[in-house]
Structure 1
């Protein structure tokens, strides 16, 4: 494993090359496997993020960490920003270990990345600085989803969280693929919160597969499909979380979130492993559906 410090922080393992932007909330901006395939959506070339811009006005790409909420809400008279309080702040450290202290919200956050058999492990720690606090974390990886991309998940039913009535419906192939999301549209569902889920896979039409698994103290998972509604290319985000649902206030109301006790840090992990496609015939086809930067619009 090697790391490089500087404007661009990189980390290489036997299975992936990663790039991390510490100034941008330790966002993982690139996750390239050994076939040269980029798994993460890429920011528009030349697009600069304006300081203080809303999350959806920033570059919709890469892997962010959302905490202590995803949806904006108010908890104990404290306003929690959209997509959390981490993504818009600089971290200290390197690609291999990054950290931040959010004094106003009373917590410190760390993420370490190391090699494990078949892939990488992201290990997390959140520490209460003063008082016992509720803490909702969700991963926010925006994976490239070319036609035919689908999610494979060990769930029987899912909750449509776009519908205000939150219907619980049987999952089927149509709900699990990007192909059934209208151009300019989106979809989000959570696996049934009554049935913990700790793994899911992103499967592309060529058979290549990215497997995610996570610790059992993160029993919830949401899946977001975006076919150009906010992103500039089709994406699927598999979002393991320790709370249900996206707003910390709602998760507290439903008693589906963890608390951090002073002196007892909260720790969890996410593993990422890749299964290569089996039908590559040459280098050109190998990278045919990779997330290469798109040309700028005229």
Structure 2
């Protein structure tokens, strides 16, 4: 484990460069609150690894897919593992300063680079993907940052409706392709903007597109985190809610607000609906996400 810290007067950020550039701590120094969900580091990181309860901690990068998918008929030429190629894999330190860190990983015909920089209460994540192969590279990306939350927190999201790819309550699947945000919904008797206790035994994966203001937040008496992006670069937001409902009833309590390039769970779906990014040989793509911590 190679933990590298960067900091500002308001933030302390810790990154495990050897484990997928995972952000393991995002601490508001004014309140002491760590926004990252905690847990042990998984030893299962092979091509057949499943991103389940032990893996679901911290902030990982999902690329070139989120859910596993057989991409043998594409440039990738193989099955893409659960939550993509990056998590749990070593990254190279390209640049390091007290308040910034640039890490990269080169594999499978691409180079993925992320620069984190801390300035006062703002953490900026600047991304770049380079196609270093000689054929077009299809991909999707999602910021998979699992947040440690309490029932005192609330989710701020300026939309009226969300789509749902997965809903489970008490171990039973709920079919409701579209939901009102934050409710009410006939299929689901939960306010979606409230953080519910683990005894709720609910889990859901939702998507919002073209989010007004291109921001989402979690706020409560112990402070807030605002996640902002550019709708022209990243047009969708995934919302993962786990209140003791995944991977089995009674497990896990966290949420994630996930800027993403595609409002689907795997690259195959993105290719089918036309939301996958296709990067030409020698081309690159870049985008920026910012996280601002608000003190209580």
Partner of 2:43: 49
Q: 1:89 to 1:200 in 2, by over 3 A?
A: same
Q: 1:215 Cα shift?
A: 2.5
Structure 1 residue runs of 5 or longer lacking an equivalent are 1-5, 278-298
Residue from 163, 181, 193 that aligns with 1:171: 181
- Report whether the alignment pairs 1:37 with 2:56: no
Residue from 98, 106, 109 that aligns with 2:103: 98
Any conservation in 2 of the 1:134–1:257 contact (CA below 8 Å)? Answer: yes
How do 1:45-84 residues align onto structure 2 when only pairs under 5 Å count? 49-52=43-46, 53-56=49-52, 58-75=54-71, 76=74, 77-84=77-84
Write the deviation string for residues 149-190 of structure 1: whole angstroms up to 9, x where unpaired: 221112111012115865222211601222177544312211
Q: 1:197 to 1:260 in 2, by over 3 A?
A: farther
Tell me how far apart the structure 2 counterparts of residues 135 and 50 of structure 1 sit (CA, whole Å).
24
Tell me how far apart the structure 2 counterparts of residues 83 and 48 of structure 1 sit (CA, whole Å).
14
Partner of 2:227: 212
Q: 1:207 to 1:31 in 2, by over 3 A?
A: closer
How do 1:94-243 residues align onto structure 2 when only pairs under 5 Å count? 96-103=101-108, 106-116=109-119, 118-130=121-133, 131-162=135-166, 167-172=177-182, 174-179=191-196, 182-191=199-208, 193=209, 198-204=214-220, 206=221, 208-216=223-231, 217-228=233-244, 229-230=246-247, 233-243=252-262
Q: 1:139 to 1:171 in 2, by over 3 A?
A: same
Tell me how far apart the structure 2 counterparts of residues 250 and 165 of structure 1 sit (CA, whole Å).
18
Residue from 11, 14, 19 that aligns with 1:16: 11
Any conservation in 2 of the 1:41–1:233 contact (CA below 8 Å)? Answer: no
Any conservation in 1 of the 2:51–2:82 contact (CA below 8 Å)? Answer: yes
Q: Using structure 2 for the length normalisation, give the TM-score.
A: 0.82
Q: How many residues align?
A: 266
Q: 1:116 to 1:263 in 2, by over 3 A?
A: farther
Instruction: Looking at secondary structure, tell me which structure has more strand per residue.
Output: 2
Tell me how far apart the structure 2 counterparts of residues 177 and 134 of structure 1 sit (CA, whole Å).
36
Write the deviation string for residues 254-277 of structure 1: whole angstroms up to 9, x where unpaired: 011222122321001110001111
Structure 2 residue runs of 5 or longer lacking an equivalent are 168-173, 184-190
What is the CA RMSD across the aligned residues, in angstroms?
A: 2.4
Residue from 252, 262, 266 that aligns with 1:247: 266
